[in-house]
């Protein structure tokens, strides 16, 4: 696969692609996290996160208007030459590398806890690793098109789960209304905008999307779709799980599916959960891994991606074993979901601002 080969895909594919990158956290921890942040008012905190991201995204898209068709690496070159392009590429590659390593380890550990307790971690992880490698060999077009097919299935499964817990819901679980207080809702809600950090991948997509109007449409489309499910997931989790019981589950949505039972026959819905959860995980890992390799290759000026896939697979697989335990992975993850917004939104914003300023200066010089 050549870097120069220009692939184009539609808005729907791109929206499902970015939405999955954001919403996978719903299956992992997000609902519990909102409860940890603001107790009963976690869902309000989720709304605050959504509003924060909407504001940041609007600012970024407005700044991006001057760079039609260019991705963040090209823009960084405009802002600070090859050096800034190298810095930007390194930051993005390392961010995506960290996300891939943390998530592959966590998903494998989750899978081990939920379904494969006896299997060695390396064996469980190898399924994800093989899946990622194969998908990357098939290329971005295959990955994105597969998103467009699978995401509606995942959404349907998730909706079934949410509907299934309706009998467990109790409106009084939302009381006291402000939970741990307005201060927590605002500050933690703001910091948790980091869970939308993968939105930054939007600024790697323009060469594949085309015009900037399409970038705008994809950005807002992915945001509203993700925010809807993130807020809905948080609200329904709190309605179905009273505080502080809802803080306990390691995999909140999985635990929620375990209590779904209608009569003697419609039970054990977690089988559906494991299915949609594994699909979402594989898509997430494939996406982050692909763009990690893509960014690395583009930063290094390499023409082909495929030769990089296997070396990076080996590095990711090895790095995933560095954390000693699941608890250590969770603590690394906590840093990411608290400070991720700095890389995703502030860093991107600074590059766009610097590039805009540089462009303006150049324009002024030219006009003089």
Partner 1 sequence: MKHRQKITRAAVILLSLVVAVSVSGCYDQREIDDLAYPLAVGLDIGEANILRMSLQLAAPLAIGGGGGGESGGGGGGAATETTSIITVDTPSIYSGLDLINNIISKEINLSHAKVIIISRALAEKGIMEYIQAIQRGREFRPNMFILVSEDPPDEYLANLTPILESNPSKYYELLLGKDYASFFEDIRMSDFHFASEVDFREPTAILTGINKKERVDQLAQSGNKELAGKMEGVYQPADIPVVSELKNVVMGMAVFKNGQMVGTLNGAESKCFQMVTGKYEHSYWTFPDEYDPSKMVVMDIMQRTSPKIKAVIKDGKVFIDLVLDLEGDFTSIQSSSDFEDYPDQMENRASEMIKNEIAAMLKKTTDEFNSDICGFGRYVKGRFMTLDEWKKFNWPERYSDTEFNIQVKLKIRRTGLIIRSMGHPG
Residues that bind partner 1 (CB under 8 A): 39-40, 113-120, 123, 127, 130, 134, 170, 172, 175-181, 241-245, 248, 255, 258-259, 261, 264, 267
Nearer to partner 1, 240 or 355 (CB): 240
CB of 265 to partner 1, least distance (A): 11
Nearest-5° Cα angle at 286, 283 to 289? 145
CB of 8 to partner 1, least distance (A): 24
Nearer to partner 1, 217 or 258 (CB): 258
CB of 177 to partner 1, least distance (A): 6
Nearer to partner 1, 72 or 133 (CB): 133
Nearer to partner 1, 131 or 207 (CB): 131
Q: Cα–Cα distances in Å, from 365 out to 63, 342, 360, 361?
A: 21, 33, 9, 6
Are 132 and 254 within 8 A, CB to CB?
no
DSSP sequence for 191-259: HGGGGGGGGGGGGG-HHHH-SHHHHHHHHHHHHHHHHHHHHHHHHHHHHHS-TTGGGS-SSHHHHHHHT
H/E element, 188: helix 182-191
CB of 124 to partner 1, least distance (A): 9
β-bridge mates for residue 261, sequence order: 267
DSSP sequence for 31-66: HHHHHHHHGGGHHHHHHHHHHHHHHHHHHHHHHHTT
CB of 309 to partner 1, least distance (A): 14
Nearer to partner 1, 118 or 366 (CB): 118
Nearer to partner 1, 120 or 211 (CB): 120
Closest Cα to residue 309, out of 294, 298, 299, 321?
A: 294
CB of 76 to partner 1, least distance (A): 38
- In whole angstroms, give the CA distance from residue 229 to residue 75: 32
């Amino acid at each position: 696969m050549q870097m120069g080969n220009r692939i184009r895909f539609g808005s729907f594919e791109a929206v499902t692609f970015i939405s999955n990158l954001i919403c996978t956290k719903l299956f992992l921890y997000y609902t519990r996290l909102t409860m940890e942040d603001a107790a009963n008012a976690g869902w309000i905190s989720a709304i605050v996160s959504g509003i924060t991201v909407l504001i940041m995204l609007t600012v970024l898209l407005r700044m991006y208007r001057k760079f039609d068709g260019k991705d963040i690496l090209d823009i960084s070159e405009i802002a600070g030459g090859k050096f800034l392009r190298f810095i930007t590429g390194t930051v993005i590659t390392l961010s995506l590398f960290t996300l891939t390593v943390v998530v592959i380890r966590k998903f494998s550990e989750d899978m081990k806890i939920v379904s494969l307790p006896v299997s060695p971690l390396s064996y469980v992880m190898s399924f994800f690793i093989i899946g990622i490698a194969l998908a990357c060999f098939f290329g971005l077009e295959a990955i994105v098109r597969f998103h467009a097919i699978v995401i509606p299935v995942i959404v349907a499964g998730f909706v079934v789960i949410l509907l299934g817990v309706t009998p467990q819901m109790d409106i009084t679980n939302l009381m006291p209304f402000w939970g741990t207080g307005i201060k927590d809702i605002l500050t933690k809600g703001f910091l948790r905008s980091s869970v939308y950090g993968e939105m930054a991948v939007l600024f790697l997509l323009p060469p594949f999307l085309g015009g900037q109007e399409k970038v705008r449409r994809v950005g807002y489309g992915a945001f509203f779709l993700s925010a809807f499910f993130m807020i809905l997931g948080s609200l329904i989790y709190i309605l179905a799980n009273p505080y502080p019981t809802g803080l306990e589950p390691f995999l909140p949505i999985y635990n929620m599916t375990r209590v779904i039972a209608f009569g003697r026959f419609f039970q054990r819905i977690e089988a559906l959960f494991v299915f949609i959860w594994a699909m979402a995980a594989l898509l997430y890992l494939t996406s982050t891994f692909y763009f990690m390799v893509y960014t690395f290759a583009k930063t290094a000026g390499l023409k082909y991606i495929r030769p990089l896939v296997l070396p990076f697979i080996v590095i990711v697989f090895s790095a995933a074993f560095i954390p000693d335990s699941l608890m250590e992975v969770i603590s690394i993850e906590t840093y990411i979901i608290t400070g991720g917004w700095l890389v995703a939104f502030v860093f991107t914003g600074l590059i766009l601002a610097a590039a805009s300023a540089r462009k303006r200066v150049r324009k002024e010089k030219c006009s003089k």
